[in-house]
A and B are shown apart, each in its own frame.
Chain A
């Protein structure tokens, strides 16, 4: 590449000074980013970390001179390689984008156009900006696919986005960003949507290729352990302001600010397991499928003790959520039995009576879609009280207030609509709704995955306190090992519809592990900046493969 010659490491590539960005809502402009300075040298990787709403993505996009619809860059200066982006015309910015500054989006499956083949999308910018001709661009794309360790690099480009997996798409998107050999790549939470086992490969591939081409990068994430592997320097953002900035190792060893320290603290939440033989739910040899073609659950046997938490872990497609659907009766199993309190449950929802329904409740991953946006908190929580217990009117309202106090909200929330609540508050309302039925078992399906780490911790603590108070059992579905360590008494590891391993937490988490559990546990990013390097070295030494 011609640009490679003028690439000298260490020279300043991007300088953002006192950047202010505003977003329009409620008829007013609000500051989202409130004066942040970023300096990035050539070949350097800067990690931007913070909770959602901290302004990370907005700041990342501003480095391309781009503001999302409804946002505007209202102040400061952004100079990229001597070009003042805020003074450049839209046409000049367009020519920079894709060729000199590229972007890798969070969800590759949404960011790839479903109507076009991967290869055509990979080389689109190179062709449109007349950087390469088609033949050269295509062979270069295949070379990038190979470097990013995509399977069948010569032919994968002729596939459509829906035909390849999420991890492969994310790597293809990195190839797309690399296709013009940009000076700077913005990675916007590129592995957040991936399973831990897939994440390792994607992280390694992205890190290698950025190093190979001396590309500078801004790596945006909310996961400290991930950013520790990728970045040379880390900047912590909160409420649109910089909290602190330091080289990665320094930051991990001795964070200066209290807020940064709280980001570490979450990882330390841990509960000791409490053995119990009082089984409330027994799933015996259950096989289930959607439409009969592919079995999603195969001979699954799981037990949940009363007043305890059983965590079901596994990557997407392992059948975790299907297990929940089978237990609740939403998906009648093909074979096998489900016993509640020793008595067999009818297979379908329709055959179960009201009391059976009451005893199992669910909390979902996304409180946004699980709450009716037009219903007030009073109705959301009041409905199960009326339905299961026949209490209405003032007595019902009193009960709702009691529940609100239990979940640490209060009477003032009675008449709020879901839109007037934060993500964590909405999830609390979902918890209260489940509790309102006075269930014996609550199935929590990835209930903390959509939340920020600090909010996650609060929700987990709340769930644990409620368990002590009401002796409810949890079947806790998650892909996050840190969460499992925090709250589980027992662990069930699932892979491709089968139970790979189950038992008390201490037993499952301590070696020796079955191959898949080993892979899963070793893939969880650690705070150590050398973790990824060491893991890859260890894996290639033992040439551990993903179990087929």
Chain B
């Protein structure tokens, strides 16, 4: 077996182990939250009897261990359980049915933002390194730093004001439903995607620039210059291939943020993503939904970091082509 395949399998195994530990942490943390779904839904005037009856109805009277095993067992079979909302009624609302469309929306927005932000950030980073300390470099740095320093909601409202209200290019509200077509979805998600791009671009761009500049003092860069290689090619062909490891780590970190950290942007644009759903579920103590969301977020982080590790390995010839 190629050592890389072994490493990847090892990391994957470790990732699963991490996910298992995370599931325990999530479950216990939610157990420790004061108040339960019954209190939240029945209000302050609920008698202990009604609360107990309600808890029995949704199975909360059983020991935590039993419920955990049941939950994790279900997940292993692809069943995320049923939402507490609607419990007791005739219609059982499966968590997966609740989450699936929201998750689709979230990934749609995340991928859209990533497709704009990652190439843009890398290009700007390379150009900033190429024209280091020039006016261009300074402008790119200060603009990206400004957009990351401003609160997301502020950036969102400014964009909304100019592009939706003044210029009328995009929608100010990003309401989408299952009947929305793909192209329609893109145009409705445009403003949130641009907002997110502005938020994450600085980090990636500055890391690209720094990682490249860090290598410019290497003897092989000087050698390339002395070989008469044009400066652009020196940066792109000689520095960049050796700079991937730190860059992809930062890219993975920011992509994870696109999935798990966009609740503010979702709220501002009324975009039906998973972040908003999780916040709602927490305030109503709808634990199965919260747990499922948290687990998905954890899996996203683990997978993205795993991919970053793998890319770091395969872009390093020392690891890819051992002696």
* Residues in A lying within 8 Å of B, measured CB to CB: 61, 64, 66, 68-69, 94-99, 102-103, 105, 107, 110-116, 124-125, 128-129, 160, 162-163, 176
Contacts and interface: CB of A to CB of B under 8 A. Distances in A.
A162 B318 CA distance: 7
Contact of A114 (B227, B233, B242): B242
Given A113-B238, A114-B317, A124 B229 contact: yes
Contacts of B224: 113, 124
Contact of B228 (A94, A105, A110, A112): A94
Interface in B62-90: none
Nearest to A163: B323
Contact of B220 (A99, A112, A162): A112
B223 A128 contact: no
Interface centre among B217, B230, B315 (most CB of A within 10 A): B230
B241 A103 contact: no
Interface in B292-316: 315-316
Contacts of A69: 217
B2 interface: no
Contacts of B321: 160, 163
Contacts of A125: 227-229
B222 interface: yes
A162 B228 contact: no
A105 B261 CA distance: 49
A297 B230 CA distance: 47
Contact of A98 (B219, B222, B229, B315): B229
A176 B227 contact: yes
Given A114-B242, A114-B318, A163-B321, A103 B220 contact: no
A94 B230 contact: yes
Contacts of B230: 94, 128
A111 B223 contact: yes
Contacts of B238: 113, 115-116
A353 B161 CA distance: 74
B134 interface: no
B218 interface: yes
Contacts of B33: none
B123 interface: no
Interface in B238-293: 238, 241-242
Interface of B: 217-220, 222-230, 233, 237-238, 241-242, 315-318, 321, 323
B317 A115 contact: yes
A125 B234 CA distance: 12
Given A110-B220, A111-B219, A116 B225 contact: no
Contact of A110 (B219, B242, B315): B219
A113 B220 contact: yes
A116 B242 CA distance: 10
A163 B323 CA distance: 5
A103 B241 CA distance: 23
A125 B224 CA distance: 9
B230 to A, nearest CB: 7
Contacts of A66: 225-226
Contacts of A124: 224, 227, 229
Contacts of B242: 113-115
A113 B221 CA distance: 8
Contacts of A163: 321, 323
A163 B225 CA distance: 24
Given A98-B226, A114-B220, A160-B317, 12 more contacts: A61-B226, A68-B222, A69-B217, A94-B229, A111-B219, A112-B220, A113-B220, A114-B242, A116-B238, A128-B233, A162-B318, A162-B323
A541 B229 CA distance: 44
The 9 closest A-B pairs by CB, nearest first: A98-B228, A97-B228, A115-B241, A98-B227, A110-B219, A103-B226, A111-B223, A113-B220, A160-B317
6 contacts: A111-B219, A113-B220, A113-B238, A114-B242, A115-B238, A160-B317
